[in-house]
Chains A and B, each alone.
Chain A
């Protein structure tokens, strides 16, 4: 089966600019996650969707980060304006349902803010 697709793979922007990442989950997967992985750390959840509704966004810095999953399939994550500390790999993952099913990860988008 096709895996989780993310684009772009790499992005370099200047601080205070905006950036958007795109994720296409595995077909039929209702749950979608965005994780942030800073160098030297494990992934940390930013936001979780169940279909097109937000289940958990408690760790999302809402003053600059936003995410949407309008039709319950693809999702975009936006940062505006970016800060130096946003440099990280942004991972998208999906699972069939929330709870006790395996999460499949995309390749990630490596963001560098200069």
Chain B
């Protein structure tokens, strides 16, 4: 069965500090992994996907199939990064549906 685990419900860092939001998954095939972000009072939006291998707003995430992880990282956090972050999985047989983790609320203090 598909499962996405985000172990941290809350994460706080100071501005300029590195940040890592953890995501682990279980899936029997080859999944696509995503990070979605929801800023205060805004809609859920895609931040990045592993197949793109790009950096968005300074964030990167690498798919580690051995550890079944897809952690989100940023070397220097900014106050505007404060938001709710969801890790999501889409499997080849799931016709587009996304399986979400419970989310991590990131707060970046000035």
A contact residues vs B (CB 8 Å cutoff) = 3-4, 31, 33, 40-45, 48, 50, 55-56, 91, 95, 98-108
Contact = CB atoms under 8 A, between A and B. Distances in A.
How would you classify the secondary structure of chain A's contact residues: helix, strand, loop or mixed?
Answer: loop
Interface residues of B, number: 22
A3 B97 CA distance: 19
Nearest to B51: A100
Interface in B42-76: 43-46, 49, 51
Interface of B: 4, 9, 32, 43-46, 49, 51, 86, 88, 90, 94-103
Contacts of A41: 102-103
A33 B43 contact: no
Contact of A48 (B51, B88, B97): B97
